[in-house]
Chains A and B, each alone.
Chain A
Amino acid sequence: MTELTKLTLSAARDGLHNGDFTSAEITAEHLNAIDDAKELNTYIEVTSDQAMNMAASADAMIKDGNAKGMTGIPIGIKDLYCTKGVHSQSASHILDGFKPEYESTVTSNLWNDGAVMLGKTNMDEFAMGSSNENSYYGPVINPWRATGSDKNTVPGGSSGGSAAAVAADISIATTGTDTGGSIRQPASFTGLVGFKPTYGRCSRFGMIAFASSLDQAGPLTKTVRDAAIMMESMAGYDAKDSTSINVEVPNYEAALTGDIRGLKVGIPKEYHSDGMPAAIEKLWQQGIGWLKDAGAEIVDISLPHTKYALPTYYIVAPAECSSNLARYDGVKYGLRVAGDSLDDMYKNTRAAGFGDEVKRRILIGTYVLSAGYYDAYYLKAQRVRTLIADDFKSAYQKCDVILTPTAPSEAFNLGDKVSDPLAMYLNDVFTVPASLAGLPGISVPAGLSSDGLPLGLQLLGQAFGEEQLLNVADVLETAAGFNIKPAKWWGE
């Protein structure tokens, strides 16, 4: 009796509203499935009691006729969202024991709509990584394996736990966060829909910061429709976040008309890269064909500064993180490793508390902001960032949305790239430009690699053009007809 874990969010919603089953039933099944999938290491903390209590409240809401899209839906929450009284540590050792006294705005919105928290999902420490191998709690294992292989693959990162949990059917949907691709790339690696909205669409209040000017909340779901339902609950202006933008939240699901006739889809020439696997290039061409068949017009566009996006990102994001992570000093909360002086205590605490990748980025960020280097690195990167945003503005004069691959590769084997940070950083090459421009993007599962691993296509939209973007994504999803699940090799 594992049927309820197979449901999409929209199907679960409809079933709950119809009284086919209760939230308590779905939630209990998911908790069992989580228990069965421990070796995937997707959850850092499972909040079983809280989940069942929330499910009971949700069932009461439904009974009272107050059900919303997310009411009764059991979801996992990425560990960097602060959830009151519950483990919220960005998968870092340095936040050991920290349980916030407050709730993030995004999770508050979800709970107000009656969503049910299953637990906190594993992630790359402070959202820094593309394989979820940088967690203090150990790597997350992708439920997908190459055809005929028993080697573990990575789920992508940094929202790797959130992605693997949905792919393994131990959460109907999850929250992720995307700074340079941390929702879209794992979605591509695990055969899911991963949606990053426009910067400012969701409040960052209560999200443990990595790079403030880039971080955005978004859902990882089984379908585009699921993403639309969940985003409507997560989004909204918040006075507590000065960078959130006061724009009405539309009914995203209503935007899924299936009609994209006459819509212009831009294909950026700079996204063709020499080393890209043939399967990905081929899938991209297929995607172009599907959208054309649906009545869209295909337009060749140019985003000339694309090649500078990755180096720009790896200056801006570390610069911000070097400052954002200064508060983890052993003085107020979390880990403290004693020392003979205040400086020694800082050194000991931060040396023990941060993992290698976090340290690497703090060092890079400190360097690029230092006197004498600021102009050459940080300031120049900010200027290039403006040029990249201008590229998109020009492109959107010619087209409505942009279609690209999500990632330059399929999921790779665990451990393959841990010793080569630069190779790891290349995972973000297609996702980073839109992050720098603050634009919405969505990864839709579209096919399999030659090794039988999922591959995603990415659609990029205009600022606050989420409705159009979701509509195109829905059409692409239908045309691709991707409905393969990873063969279950874990648990009993």
Chain B
Amino acid sequence: MSNLYQGATGDWEVVIGLEIHAQVISESKLFSGSSTKFGSEPNTQVSFVCSAQPGMLPVINDECVRQAIRTGLAMGCQINLRSVFDRKNYFYADLPQGYQISQFKDPIVGEGVVTVDLEDGSTKDIGVERLHLEQDAGKSMHDQHPTMTYVDLNRSGVALMEIVSMPDMRSAEEAGAYFKKIRSLVRYAGTCDGNMDQGSMRADVNVSVRRPGEELGTRTETKNVNSIRYMMLVIESEIRRQVGVLEDGGTIAQETRLFEVATGTTRTMRSKEEAHDYRYFPDPDLLPLEFSQELVDKLAKEMPELADAKRDRFIKDLHITSYNASVLVAEKESADYFEELLAATVAKTAKPVSELGTLVSNWVTGDLFGALKKLGKGITESPVSIEHAAELLNLQVDGTISGRIAKEVFELMLETGSSPETIVEEKGLKQVSDTGAIETMIDEILAANADKVEQYRGGKDKLYGFFVGQVMKQTGGKANPQVVNQLLRPKLDG
């Protein structure tokens, strides 16, 4: 497997590192009691602290600390029992304090490794350098007035986790897989909602290229990329640009770049010379952040099951296919839906989970996902409730309807929102298992098609399907296929 990029003058190796900013799920901000609710009216979620009124002081929100520890645990990282908050000083209108409280030298979470799944089925270990807690800035709005910029401080002071990777990725695909992995981890851990369109997760993308085996090249950093697709575009466009510059005999400038959605490329934001001197120093308003190993152990014990463990359990305990298991755990909501539905189906059918795993997982990944895709909806917006879905599967398990009828009923459920039992009742879709009735029907069909019976008996085995089809046609598909088989074959063969 080669990740090398072919330039005009030979191969290039790409080196990628990501700084992922993940907004912490918490009721209130990192250092004040203001709410963190997204989408509120501008400047309605602002305290005296997060608007930097004179004399106001930050007080750490313990829940944000616990969330950072949980995230560190989910990534298998070292948890630092003592860390320090520093001030990162710079002026901007949406940074009311004139500094951002962050962690510079001593972050709350240290090194770790995450394993990512690649498309060809292989895996790769990507190093995590650190995770630190910091405040988000407010939002500048440049489109509200012809000459003025407005500032919304609702986001000012909201807790962010900055997750810094090692420069371990060698392709856009690996970077995408790593980002997806981190997103899955924080979502399963319940520490970040991962909503990229709301800005809850965004990445600064560091890219450099070098000849294989040589020293690291000069990197560029593209700021605030807020989708996986964009991130991959950024990487691909940076590779092309950097290789182009180097092959033309130029040098890469260490600089900060911005992604432009319209062109799918990046442009210079500020050069190294224009880079800020942030003058980091320990925040004298805050004591070093210290907690006990007992707290870490307690949080580790309470950690929810993460995607990889869940997938393994699905395969081992529920006997579902590796493919289905991977599809289900890809999004926490899908896995949650599946598990809830499985439990509800178990309750209805009184059958063990190991017998139902395949049926339920096939239905969720096949029928339900197919329908949702057509509707353009996510699993949380599913028009079919767990209750109705379990009822549908139960009707199939207890033989009331066949698998084929179940698909029909599901279509009607999507259309009408009615319960499957009602639909089956109203439309008369109940499977016919009455052997007497079916036997009479078979006798009539065999009598009416004596020529075909002859041909069958003469060795034309394929005609068996014709007779089954005739029975199904006459029952409107409701005949229990097993019963039909049991009765039809001896009559034909006899």
- In the bound complex, do residue A332 and residue B286 qualify as a contact, i.e. CB atoms below 8 Å apart? no
CB distance from B139 to the nearest CB of A (A): 14
B48 contacts across to A, CB distance below 8 A: 101-102
A319 contacts across to B, CB distance below 8 A: 281
Which one of A81, A101, A331 has the greatest number of beta carbons of chain B within 10 Å? A331
Question: Is the C-beta of B291 less than 8 angstroms from some C-beta in chain A?
Answer: no
Interface residues contributed by chain B, number (CB under 8 Å):
30
Question: Is the C-beta of A82 less than 8 angstroms from some C-beta in chain B?
Answer: yes
Interface mask (A431-456 → B, CB under 8 Å = 1, otherwise 0)? 00000000000000000000000000
Question: Is the C-beta of A100 less than 8 angstroms from some C-beta in chain B?
Answer: yes
Question: Is the C-beta of B89 less than 8 angstroms from some C-beta in chain A?
Answer: yes
- In the bound complex, do residue B57 and residue A323 qualify as a contact, i.e. CB atoms below 8 Å apart? no
- In the bound complex, do residue A320 and residue B284 qualify as a contact, i.e. CB atoms below 8 Å apart? yes
Question: Is the C-beta of B149 less than 8 angstroms from some C-beta in chain A?
Answer: yes
Interface mask (A199-212 → B, CB under 8 Å = 1, otherwise 0)? 00000111111011
- In the bound complex, do residue A242 and residue B54 qualify as a contact, i.e. CB atoms below 8 Å apart? no
Select which of B51, B59, B279 is within 8 A of A242 by beta carbon.
B59
Question: Is the C-beta of B285 less than 8 angstroms from some C-beta in chain A?
Answer: yes
- In the bound complex, do residue B87 and residue A323 qualify as a contact, i.e. CB atoms below 8 Å apart? yes
- In the bound complex, do residue A213 and residue B284 qualify as a contact, i.e. CB atoms below 8 Å apart? yes
Q: Measured between alpha carbons, how far is A467 from B151 in the docked complex, in Å?
A: 50
Contacting chain A: which of B93-101, B184-192, B349-357?
A: B93-101
Select which of B54, B97, B280 is within 8 A of A208 by beta carbon.
B54
Q: Measured between alpha carbons, how far is A327 from B279 in the docked complex, in Å?
A: 15
Tell me if B's interface is mostly helix, strand, loop or mixed.
Answer: loop
Question: Is the C-beta of B277 less than 8 angstroms from some C-beta in chain A?
Answer: yes
Q: Which of B140-176 contact A (CB under 8 A)?
A: 149, 151
A366 contacts across to B, CB distance below 8 A: 279
Cross-chain pair count, CB within 8 angstroms:
102
Interface mask (A311-346 → B, CB under 8 Å = 1, otherwise 0)? 000000001101101110101110000000011001
- In the bound complex, do residue A323 and residue B54 qualify as a contact, i.e. CB atoms below 8 Å apart? no
- In the bound complex, do residue A240 and residue B59 qualify as a contact, i.e. CB atoms below 8 Å apart? yes
- In the bound complex, do residue A100 and residue B279 qualify as a contact, i.e. CB atoms below 8 Å apart? no
Q: Measured between alpha carbons, how far is A46 from B192 in the docked complex, in Å?
A: 51
- In the bound complex, do residue B97 and residue A327 qualify as a contact, i.e. CB atoms below 8 Å apart? yes
Q: A209-B55, A326-B98 are in contact. Are A242 and B89 (CB under 8 A)?
A: no
Q: Which of A406-442 contact B (CB under 8 A)?
A: none
Which one of B93, B99, B280, B281 has the greatest number of beta carbons of chain A within 10 Å? B281
Question: Is the C-beta of A378 less than 8 angstroms from some C-beta in chain B?
Answer: yes
CB distance from A302 to the nearest CB of B (A): 29
CB distance from A390 to the nearest CB of B (A): 19
Select which of A211, A241, A327 is within 8 A of B52 by beta carbon.
A327
Which one of B57, B59, B98 has the greatest number of beta carbons of chain A within 10 Å? B57
Question: Is the C-beta of A95 less than 8 angstroms from some C-beta in chain B?
Answer: yes
Q: Measured between alpha carbons, how far is A95 from B52 in the docked complex, in Å?
A: 13
Question: Is the C-beta of A371 less than 8 angstroms from some C-beta in chain B?
Answer: yes
Question: Is the C-beta of B60 less than 8 angstroms from some C-beta in chain A?
Answer: yes
- In the bound complex, do residue A332 and residue B52 qualify as a contact, i.e. CB atoms below 8 Å apart? yes
Closest-by-CB residue of B relative to A209 is B55
Interface mask (B252-286 → A, CB under 8 Å = 1, otherwise 0)? 00000000000000000000000001011100111
Interface mask (A116-133 → B, CB under 8 Å = 1, otherwise 0)? 000000000000000000
Q: Measured between alpha carbons, how far is A332 from B52 in the docked complex, in Å?
A: 9
- In the bound complex, do residue B54 and residue A370 qualify as a contact, i.e. CB atoms below 8 Å apart? no
A101 contacts across to B, CB distance below 8 A: 48, 53
CB distance from B381 to the nearest CB of A (A): 40
Q: Which of A351-402 contact B (CB under 8 A)?
A: 366, 369-371, 374, 378
| CB-CB nearest 6 A-B residue pairs | A326-B98, A212-B284, A369-B279, A213-B284, A327-B52, A206-B55
- Residues of B participating in the A interface, judged by any CB pair closer than 8 Å: 48, 51-60, 87, 89, 91-93, 96-99, 149, 151, 277, 279-281, 284-287
Q: A243-B286, A333-B54 are in contact. List 19 more A-B contacts (CB 8 A).
A: A82-B54, A100-B53, A102-B48, A102-B56, A205-B57, A208-B54, A213-B284, A240-B59, A241-B57, A242-B58, A242-B286, A322-B279, A323-B98, A327-B97, A331-B93, A332-B96, A342-B92, A369-B279, A374-B281
Contacts A/B (CB < 8 Å), 20 sampled: A95-B54, A100-B53, A101-B48, A206-B55, A206-B56, A240-B59, A242-B58, A242-B59, A322-B89, A322-B279, A326-B91, A326-B98, A327-B52, A331-B93, A331-B96, A332-B96, A369-B279, A371-B277, A371-B279, A378-B281
